[in-house]
Chains A and B, each alone.
Chain A
Amino acid sequence: MQAKENNQNLKRYTIVTAMDNEAGVLSQLAHLFSRKGYNIETIAAGWTVDQNVTRFTIEIYSDDDRIKLLCAQLRKLVPIHYVEILDPSKSIRRELMLVRVHAADRSARNEIIQIANIFRGSVIDITPDSITLSVTGDDQKTSAFESLLKEFGIIELARTGIVAIERGEM
């Protein structure tokens, strides 16, 4: 994050990579980012249609020259199948956010549920003094949702990190 603030040329990149689904691959991947000086903004992983292959979506700040080098370095890791940088205009990015907020009275509860409806979020759990919500979207949407809930008092918040996929060809 430090590097991001100090350098105006940096922009956010979405890297998608697939690796053999075996012990230690995450640490190989994470290690490469850290030793090349990157802070991973988000990382999300899960297996694909083939359970032997894990697909990662990773977002970092970089520039056009350095990102090419990083991808070439990633491609050298033996468990790696492919590495791609997604074009934001041709891809879909989503994350899931879970958030529990204070809702001690009826008006707060109503207002929170209304906000959730506008964001197509859902109420997952409700207690006499709190509500737990989930919302899906890109990081701008989830951040906007988060900022609207702040005034009620966020008790706990969790994000999955972005998963991304290319749009189909028209």
Chain B
Amino acid sequence: MTNINNTGKKLNGSEILIQCLIEQGVDTIFGYPGGAILNVYDKLYDHKEIRHILTAHEQGASHAADGYARSTGKVGVCFATSGPGSTNLTTGVATAYMDSSPVVFITCNVNSDLIGRDSFQEVDITGVTLPITKCSYIVSNVENLADTVREAFAIARSGRPGPVLIDIQKNVTASECEYYPVTPDEYFMTAGTRIQRLKSTHHPSVGYPDINLEAIDELAELIDNSEKPLLICGGGVVRAKASQEFRTLAARIDSPVAITVMGGGAFPGDSPLKTGMIGMHGSQASNMACDACDLLIAVGCRFSDRVTLNPAGFAKNAKIVHIDIDASEINKNVMTDLSIIGDAKKILNLLLAKLKRDKKNDAWKNYVFSFKRETEYDDPEEGNLTPKQILSAAAEILPQDTIVTTDVGQHQMWAIQHFKFDYPGQLITSGGFGTMGFGLGAAIGAQVGNPDKTVLHVTGDGSFRMNCHELCTEEYYKLPIITLLFNNSTLGMVRQWQHLIYHERYSQTTLDRGPDFEKLAEAYGVHGRHVTDVEALRAVLKEAVASRADGKGWVIDCRIDMDEMVRPMVGGNSFIANFMLD
């Protein structure tokens, strides 16, 4: 690095790392110490301006950094030591990668002279994380440390965002070299850096490609000629902060809008144009619209198999238009008629300027909305609590801007179906990787990053059991997270498949076992309650809202029926309109 400010100081690698994090505006780190990363934690001891959140397990820290990033729009930072400390991160790294969440993971490895000798707690973590990061770095020379950290942050947050891992050998954290402070903007402008090369060549890891203006004209033409348009709102709308432009487009072309799991929050939950989720658990309105539309415009969605099901029959009557920042997503899962690569916000603005006229598609909308959206399903009144009752109570009693994190399974689908999300970052869920155990860590990150907002963690008994030890983190840092536990004593989503496809052979999915979640919560020092009816639930939720200032979290164990299913459902690889359950 060239000396820009001419104020070099000789510092050791640990101090340089922390100075570089300060350059990037980092004030919060999630992590867990250990032998190889001791020097870094020793320096951290002197930097009280950086808040370190110590979790129970590195996996919890990885999800917390991810939840922090998704809910604040900043880059999350996570520390772990070598060996098992670093491999414990990997599920969190993959989760962030699949959902394009910008997190910088920093691990330390054994001393350079011990590398490759199967030393204690040694693992090739850069090799392990190669397929689940945008880039992973080994730092074996302190001279390279500062620029590696700067490059890692630039790559994590630019282009299609995603996780980056830096593995620093322990001796690097102790050896010294000159350090010159550089702001991220200065670094982006410095000649001779790799970032310069990446920028000047429009490399997809940092760059936004030039938008093909002819394709914009073509799309405007397609829209003008379309009578049955359908928009898909994907996670890219959230990441590109393009939700305002997307909403304007939907209104101007009067198009129904289907939302992917990752797109939740980018399009208002109570809009009359919203058809709901699309795909395997998509609403009838979404899936039937997809089947009948003459123009499908997908923004920031990668046509995952859970959305398209059998790609051969997907939107079979439509011209398919794909807007995405990542050229490698085009024609990957679904063959498209027109693709526009670039930043969704810019593309949508260009498109809005080119629209020939505003449209009205009443006949088409009447057709689409003659089918049900998720929220129109009625649950039976008698018996146990129903998912809809639980979520309706939560939506009514909790503030409108409550951040919702989920684990993975039936409760996740129910939460997305029944909660009305209004802004990007309001729904934090593991859509791509489907990580059970994600929700509580993510809730911790979201609450740390948004201390004034209510954070609701929706989970199931299977998912919660995976990482519930993070309740100690919630308690220690006084995070008033409300955990809403859908307890059906079974691995519900898998049971649903076993019921529908495997002839009710419930192999290893019945979770008729402890713990008593009320007592567990109390053991960790947070509030725990069992509820079996909606009135009791409402009372507890009101108590939780009223007691928020105490900084004590809640675990509300809601008993639901084990045969409750997520409806509707289309079987894997079926055509999108072939509902197995309606």
Contacts and interface: CB of A to CB of B under 8 A. Distances in A.
Contacts of A82: 201
A76 B326 contact: yes
A34 to B, nearest CB: 10
Interface in A70-89: 72-73, 75-78, 80-82
B1 interface: no
Interface of A: 20, 23-24, 27-28, 31, 35, 65, 68-69, 72-73, 75-78, 80-82
A23 B194 contact: no
26 contacts: A20-B194, A23-B138, A24-B126, A27-B127, A27-B130, A28-B130, A31-B131, A35-B131, A68-B331, A69-B332, A72-B326, A72-B327, A72-B328, A72-B330, A73-B328, A75-B327, A76-B134, A76-B204, A76-B326, A76-B328, A77-B205, A78-B135, A78-B194, A80-B203, A81-B197, A81-B201
Given A24-B138, A65-B331, A69-B331, A78 B203 contact: yes
Interface string B308-331: 000000000000000000111011
**B interface, size bucket:** 20 to 34
A79 B484 CA distance: 45
A68 B197 CA distance: 23
Nearest to B341: A72
Nearest to B201: A81
A87 B205 CA distance: 27
Pairs of residues from A and B, 5 with the lowest C-beta to C-beta distance, nearest first: A72-B328, A78-B135, A72-B327, A73-B328, A78-B205
B27 to A, nearest CB: 27
A114 B131 CA distance: 51
A76 to B, nearest CB: 5
B198 interface: yes
Interface string B349-393: 000000000000000000000000000000000000000000000
Contact of B328 (A20, A35, A75): A75
B-side interface mostly: mixed
A24 B204 CA distance: 20
Contacts of A35: 131
B123 interface: no
Contacts of A73: 328
Contacts of A72: 326-328, 330
B205 to A, nearest CB: 5
A31 B197 contact: no
B491 interface: no
Given A23-B138, A24-B138, A35-B131, A78 B331 contact: no
B155 interface: yes
B203 A75 contact: yes
A137 B301 CA distance: 46
A42 to B, nearest CB: 23
Given A65-B335, A78-B203, 19 more contacts: A24-B126, A28-B130, A31-B130, A31-B131, A65-B331, A68-B331, A72-B326, A72-B328, A75-B328, A76-B326, A76-B328, A77-B205, A78-B134, A78-B135, A78-B155, A78-B194, A80-B203, A81-B197, A81-B201
Interface string B128-141: 00110011001000
A18 to B, nearest CB: 11
B477 to A, nearest CB: 35
Contacts of B130: 27-28, 31
A35 B131 CA distance: 8
Contacts of B127: 27
A78 B193 CA distance: 13
A77 to B, nearest CB: 8
A76 B331 CA distance: 16
Most buried by B among A28, A69, A77, A78: A78
Contacts of B327: 72, 75
Nearest to A71: B328
B441 to A, nearest CB: 27
B204 A75 contact: yes
Contacts of B203: 75, 78, 80
A141 B573 CA distance: 46
A81 B130 CA distance: 18
